Amino acid sequence: MRVDICEVGPRDGLQNEPEVLDPTVRAELVTRLASTGVPRIEVASFVSARRVPQMADPEKVVALAEAPSPVTRAALVLNERGYERLAATDVPEVHAAFCVSETFNERNQGCPVADSVEATKRIIRRAHDDGRRVTVTLAASFGCPFEGEVDPGEVLAYAGEIREADEIVFADTIGVGVPRQVHRLLRGAADLDRPLGLHLHNTRNTGYANAYAALESEVSTLDASVAGIGGCPFAPDATGDIATEDLVYLLDREGVESGVDIDAVISVAEWLRGVLGRDLPGRLHRAGVFPPAS
Amino acid sequence: MRVDICEVGPRDGLQNEPEVLDPTVRAELVTRLASTGVPRIEVASFVSARRVPQMADPEKVVALAEAPSPVTRAALVLNERGYERLAATDVPEVHAAFCVSETFNERNQGCPVADSVEATKRIIRRAHDDGRRVTVTLAASFGCPFEGEVDPGEVLAYAGEIREADEIVFADTIGVGVPRQVHRLLRGAADLDRPLGLHLHNTRNTGYANAYAALESEVSTLDASVAGIGGCPFAPDATGDIATEDLVYLLDREGVESGVDIDAVISVAEWLRGVLGRDLPGRLHRAGVFPPAS
């Protein structure tokens, strides 16, 4: 079995860090990650620098980062304006996203979900016309901070609406999901005949259990961020995405191939800990690999 | 489905905390835990106070703690001298333990594994003669800090040797295990026809994935410590046992019954955070239950 890890530290990770890093440092993070064997990296986000100062100047990050083939660079866009900025770069993969709950989407995207779905469809068409691959992430698929429980049937209906995407990712944006939700969504979307991914947070210590459950339901892609960065800036002790190196540890010892060199990711995590100047949530860069190298 | 949680915070948790708490405070922790609905609590350890000062005066803890029926109180013993001290109290359940690797057992118990197995058999017989229930924990069943990989066949052979115990627990003492090891041990020991348990640490973020895998292999008991205390005192940022409240969150949302009131455990975790004066590894007492109570 093989799982593709999409490294989202430079985007979802840094976007939620309190510290705003210079584009040169963010580009260096991408460059370092590109040598770990990770097949895909979300390098930047084409969003408003006023709303998300951590993601300012994505064009600079893209221009400075060295992530040669076979690494695929991707970037997030939330609307067509964002897509147009991305399209002016050589980033070959588009990550579009919307929230499946009305309140959350209104706050994040400023419109009803149906409008975001239509915008996403237009982005898919334009990207395909331009020869780009598109992943669509359905945020808050496991629960909404404003509305609470989310109906998996509705989530799957939205997934069906954007089935022209090259990949569909269900995101546990606020880290509330459990394995049975993983199985319900992945098995429910299997008939869409698209590669399926999960974006998992470890906010309530269920992130790695969900990753393991995803293996049981034949997931194609798992998002992860080096050192587990991405805790919400408004909750200082919240953990972020599942940590890439911790996920690789789980995969390695389960016998699942990822192509990622755990020691290389741990080195990046240690470097990033120095850059951010604080303890980071990932465990492997502190506890060490088992069995230790002899 | 139902899983019994054995709360080990007062024992494995506090034993590995740098701070030594007074027996009155340890007894208060037991008393508070006894009102959460948790069916069993490891209240103390009858070991050398010189070697483990955190566990000094177990008789005082037992005398002061209020944990009336239906809560079952248990205590750890590592040899017959320890059992004799326990037998002088009214603690009805004995938790005996040895390590399955020679180097680790030599360091922890000062003798070859075979000698510990024989001592454990004698403890089982004496406890049964005295009308006490005995759980035997096989430490380092998922890996040894000195010898590295542990042969699951050997672990299962040791389990067979102490099958007179009322319950057998496989411990991931150093937090290196992954789900396929969980399945291998639980399914491999099923023919012993004994209730099986797991003792899991979250050192490498696999603890909750292992707990979830254990549900798939029909585990009877999962150890957990309130707030996830029990990080090794020599590794300040190591996490300890899986946290009781985080485990209950996973079980609740998976539809697995435990009888434990998550809000009550979170209250104990918050109290303990105040007592220990530092952030503790559990997530739920910080992130909150989902969906939030309306």
User: What tens digit of pLDDT does each residue of B71-117 get?
Assistant: 999 999 999 999 999 999 999 999 999 999 999 999 988 999 999 99
- Strand B40-46 relative to strand A167-172: parallel, antiparallel, unpaired? unpaired
Give the pLDDT of residue B235: 46
State whether A255 and B283 contact (CB < 8 Å).
Answer: no
Residues of A in contact with B235 (CB under 8 A): 286-287
CA distance B36 to B184: 32
Domain parsing of chain A, residue ranges: 4-287
Residues of A in contact with B202 (CB under 8 A): 205, 283
Q: Which of A101, A147, A205, A294 to mutate to test the interface with B (most CBs of B within 10 A)?
A: A205
Give the pLDDT of residue A151: 98
Helices within B49-112 (DSSP H only): 58-64, 80-87, 102-109
Say which of A205, A213, A286 has its CB closest to residue B283. Answer: A205
Q: Does A167 touch chain B (CB under 8 A)?
A: no
State whether A143 and B290 contact (CB < 8 Å).
Answer: yes
| pLDDT band, very low/low/confident/very high, at A232 (cuts 50, 70, 90) | low
CATH number assigned to the domain with residue range A4-287, chosen from the 4 options 3.40.50.2000, 2.60.40.1180, 1.10.10.10, 3.20.20.70: 3.20.20.70
| pLDDT band, very low/low/confident/very high, at B169 (cuts 50, 70, 90) | very high
Give the pLDDT of residue B129: 98
Q: Does B139 touch chain A (CB under 8 A)?
A: no
Q: Is B6 a catalytic residue?
A: no
Tokens of A290: 């088992």
Give the Å distances, CA to CA, from A87 to A93, A130, A163, A277: 10, 8, 22, 35
CA distance B38 to B259: 7
Give the pLDDT of residue B294: 64
Give the pLDDT of residue B18: 83
Task: Check pLDDT > 50 for residue B151.
Answer: yes
Task: Check pLDDT > 80 for residue A294.
Answer: no
Give the pLDDT of residue A148: 94
**More confident: A235 or B205:** B205
Give the ipTM: 0.96
| pLDDT band, very low/low/confident/very high, at A237 (cuts 50, 70, 90) | very low
* Phi, then psi, of A72 in degrees rounded to 5: -100, 125
Give the pLDDT of residue A17: 85
**pLDDT tens-digit readout, B3-57:** 999 999 999 999 988 889 999 999 999 999 999 999 999 999 999 999 999 999 9
Q: DSSP secondary-structure letter at A225?
A: B
| pLDDT band, very low/low/confident/very high, at A266 (cuts 50, 70, 90) | very high
**pLDDT tens-digit readout, A43-91:** 999 999 999 999 999 999 999 999 999 999 999 999 999 999 999 999 9
Task: Check pLDDT > 50 for residue B150.
Answer: yes
Give the Å distances, CA to CA, from B64 to A38, B76, B217: 55, 17, 38
Say which of B212, B283, B286 has its CB closest to residue A209. Answer: B212
Kindly state the average pLDDT of the residues A133-139: 98
**pLDDT tens-digit readout, B212-259:** 999 999 899 999 999 999 865 444 445 689 999 999 999 999 999 999
A293: nearest CA in chain B? B148
| A80-87 helix and A113-129 helix, angle to the nearest 10 degrees | 20
- Strand B133-139 relative to strand A93-99: parallel, antiparallel, unpaired? unpaired
Task: Check pLDDT > 70 for residue A236.
Answer: no
- Share the mean pLDDT of chain B: 95
Give me the active site residues of A, please: 232
CA distance A249 to A242: 12
**pLDDT tens-digit readout, A167-191:** 999 999 999 999 999 999 999 999 9
| pLDDT band, very low/low/confident/very high, at B269 (cuts 50, 70, 90) | very high
B294: nearest CA in chain A? A148
Residues of B in contact with A175 (CB under 8 A): 287
Other CB atoms within 10 Å distance of the CB of residue B108: 18
Residues of A in contact with B250 (CB under 8 A): 178, 205-206, 209
